[in-house]
């Protein structure tokens, strides 16, 4: 099976040579930003738009690492992310390099690009992650692991501008509000989220039929009464209130998390495998109401997204397998990254991850990654 997407070995090598050159220039004390900028321009001229060939090499499973492998492929196929990764400062000293997650990710990415094999072993990065208390040989939850990985990358970026860019690329900004039902006093708080955790059921425990329904349900305000009442600053006592969230800013790379796993004391963690279709294109202006959006017209005009990746889980809550379906930003074709194997697939194959309640072992989408149509 051919693992490469779009681009020849020759141009892959020029990317590596270019990286080396960028590093040498930076090490030589010249303006690193200038060198990187120049490198990026050269990359764009080499590949049409950006360094789009990366990631199309598989990653060997080194012991229940399918979840990690899937997430890494989603990171590496996102050129908006790899542009940031390529600008990191190389940590000084062998020991520092060994435990620096972004640096180890960059090395792995370069190893994948350099490789003439169909897959490479991610053991150095895995070893690095164990230094940060990530357990290997255990089944991970992709949503939790994504959060953990992302936080590790962000916290280890020594350049605050890069850390800022990473935040802007991935974080969703919302305004949480609480309205007193007695006096209408409203308390607001701005917060940031890395994923939108979307429900599979509505407040009346009915199945949600589509991703759009699930998004609407997530932004639907909730009545807090009885034991859930909150203290109103104005009434100076506990009152019934309305709690909700308004969307203020959406990132370039938007990660949606379908809450397919739930915990019950009696049965432990269970998986919901019923079908929840998701579209290839999402326009938040058509999904949410004016009241649910707290943003200006210019920002909202860009709230149009294309599906970029699906991290799918097959099996049961306690035991299963992850793989990633990713739409290449170079050739716009879908690929399935299943550990060491990478193959081109169709949209119909991706749709098979909608889920099926009669087939509990089947693949179900768990994380959906959407990409803004117009890059900022
Ligand atoms: Zn009040």
- Could you report the per-residue pLDDT of 107-166, keeping only the tens digit for each? 999 999 999 899 999 999 999 999 999 988 888 999 999 999 999 999 999 999 999 999
- pLDDT score of 319: 83
Q: Which helix (H) or strand (E) holds 39?
A: helix 32-47
Note the pLDDT tens digit of each residue in 188-203.
999 999 999 999 999 9
CA atoms within 13 A on the CB side of 22: 25
- In this prediction, residues 312-317 reach a mean pLDDT of 90
Q: Between the CA atoms of 43, 343, 323 and 76, what dihedral angle is there, to the nearest 10 degrees?
A: -10
Fold of 172-372: Cathepsin B; Chain A (3.90.70)
Cα of 221 vs centre of ligand 1, distance in Å, is 17
Strand partners, 83: none
Spot the catalytic one: 66, 67, 241, 323: 66
Note the pLDDT tens digit of each residue in 216-270.
999 999 999 999 999 999 999 999 999 999 999 999 999 999 999 988 877 788 8
Q: How far is it, in rounded angstroms, from Cα 23 to Cα 17?
A: 10
- Single out the residue of 194, 195, 69, 85 nearest to residue 136, CA to CA: 69
Cα of 372 vs centre of ligand 1, distance in Å, is 39
Cα of 193 vs centre of ligand 1, distance in Å, is 28
Mean pLDDT of the chain: 85
Cα of 185 vs centre of ligand 1, distance in Å, is 5
pLDDT bucket at 345, cuts 50 / 70 / 90: very high
Beta strands in 53-211 (DSSP E): 58-59, 119-120, 172-180, 186-193, 195-198
For the chain, how are helix, strand and coil distributed in percent, rounded to 5?
35, 25, 35
Cα of 187 vs centre of ligand 1, distance in Å, is 10
- pLDDT score of 270: 87
Cα of 244 vs centre of ligand 1, distance in Å, is 16
Is residue 40 predicted with pLDDT exceeding 80?
no
The residue with tokens 């599979």 is 200
Cα of 230 vs centre of ligand 1, distance in Å, is 10
Spot the catalytic one: 80, 294, 313, 321: 321
Percent of the chain with pLDDT over 70: 85
- pLDDT score of 268: 83
Q: Which helix (H) or strand (E) holds 190?
A: strand 186-193
- In this prediction, residues 305-330 reach a mean pLDDT of 94
- Single out the residue of 225, 253, 338 nearest to residue 78, CA to CA: 253
Look at domain 9-162 and name its CATH class: alpha beta
- pLDDT score of 317: 81
- pLDDT score of 15: 32
Percent of the chain with pLDDT over 90: 70
State yes or no: is 180 an active-site residue. no
Cα of 236 vs centre of ligand 1, distance in Å, is 7
Task: Specify the higher pLDDT residue, 197 or 40.
Answer: 197
Enumerate the domain spans of the chain. 9-162, 172-372
- In this structure, the strands spanning 281-283 and 304-315 are antiparallel
């Amino acid at each position: 099976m051919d693992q490469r997407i779009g681009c020849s070995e020759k141009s892959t090598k020029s990317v590596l040579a270019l990286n080396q050159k960028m590093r040498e220039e930076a090490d030589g004390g010249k303006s690193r930003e200038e060198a990187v900028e120049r490198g990026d321009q050269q990359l764009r001229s080499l590949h049409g738009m950006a360094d789009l060939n990366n990631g199309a090499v598989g990653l060997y499973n080194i012991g229940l690492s399918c979840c990690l492998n899937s997430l890494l492929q989603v990171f590496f196929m996102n050129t908006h992310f790899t542009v940031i990764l390529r600008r990191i400062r190389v940590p000084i000293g062998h020991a520092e390099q060994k435990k620096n997650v972004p640096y180890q990710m960059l090395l792995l990415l370069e190893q994948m690009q350099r490789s003439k094999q169909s897959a490479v072993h991610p053991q150095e990065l895995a070893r690095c992650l164990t230094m940060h208390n990530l357990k290997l040989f255990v089944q991970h939850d992709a949503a939790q692991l994504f959060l953990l990985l992302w936080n590790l990358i962000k916290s280890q970026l020594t350049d605050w501008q890069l850390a800022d860019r990473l935040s802007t690329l991935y974080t969703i900004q919302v305004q949480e509000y609480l309205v007193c039902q007695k006096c209408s006093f409203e308390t607001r708080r701005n917060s940031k989220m890395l994923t939108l955790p979307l429900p599979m059921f509505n407040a009346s425990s009915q199945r949600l039929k589509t991703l759009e329904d699930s998004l609407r349900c997530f932004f639907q305000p909730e009545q807090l009464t009885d034991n859930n009442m909150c203290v109103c600053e104005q009434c100076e006592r506990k009152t019934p209130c309305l709690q909700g969230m308004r969307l203020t800013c959406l990132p370039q790379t938007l990660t949606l998390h379908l809450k397919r796993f739930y915990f019950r004391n009696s049965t432990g963690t269970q998986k919901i495998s019923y079908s929840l279709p998701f579209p290839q294109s999402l326009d938040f202006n058509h999904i949410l109401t004016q009241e649910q959006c707290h943003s200006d017209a210019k920002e909202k005009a860009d709230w149009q997204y294309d599906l970029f990746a699906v991290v799918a889980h097959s099996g049961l809550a306690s035991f299963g397998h992850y793989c990633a379906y990713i739409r290449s930003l170079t050739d716009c074709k879908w690929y399935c990254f299943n550990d060491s194997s990478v193959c081109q697939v169709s949209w119909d194959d991706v749709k098979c991850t909608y889920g099926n309640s009669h087939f509990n072992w089947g693949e179900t989408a768990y994380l959906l990654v959407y990409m803004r149509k117009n890059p900022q």
